[in-house]
Structure 1
C-alpha cells in the first residue's frame, strides 16, 4: 500500500475538495398537467404516466380491462 512521503496540509486538502458540491435538481413543468417533475423523467399524474406532455401508460385502462 502506498504511503505519502509528506503530510498533505489542510489547505491543500480543502482546495481539492472545493469541487464537491451539492446541486439542486433541475425541475420542469409538464405542459399538459402543470405538474412539476424532474427534468427528462416521466411522472405519474392521476393514474397516468406522462413524458414530454404525452401519455405513455394509462393505468386506469389497464385496471378496467
Structure 2
C-alpha cells in the first residue's frame, strides 16, 4: 500500500482546501412580482419563469380569529 513519505504541512493542507469554501447564494429580482429568487429558476411567489406562468402561485394562508 502506498504511504506518504513525509507529513503534509498545515499550509499545504489549507491551500489544497481553498476551493472548498462555501459560496454566497446569488439572488435576482423577479421581473413580475419583485421578490428575490435564485436565477434560472421558477419564482416561488408568482410561479413565473421567463415571463410565462409555469406553476400556480402560492397563496398565503389567512388566519381566522
Task: Detail structure 1 runs of 4+ shifted over 6 Å in the superposition.
Answer: none
1:54 to 49, 52, 56: 52
What is the distance in 2 between the residues matched to 1:15 and 1:23? 17
Which residue pairs with 1:33 in the alignment?
33
What is the distance in 2 between the residues matched to 1:39 and 1:32? 14
Gaps of at least 5 residues in structure 2 are 59-65
Deviation for aligned residue 1:59: 6.2
Which residue pairs with 2:6 in the alignment?
6
Greater share of strand:
1
- Alignment TM-score, normalising by the size of structure 2: 0.69
What is the distance in 2 between the residues matched to 1:59 and 1:24? 27
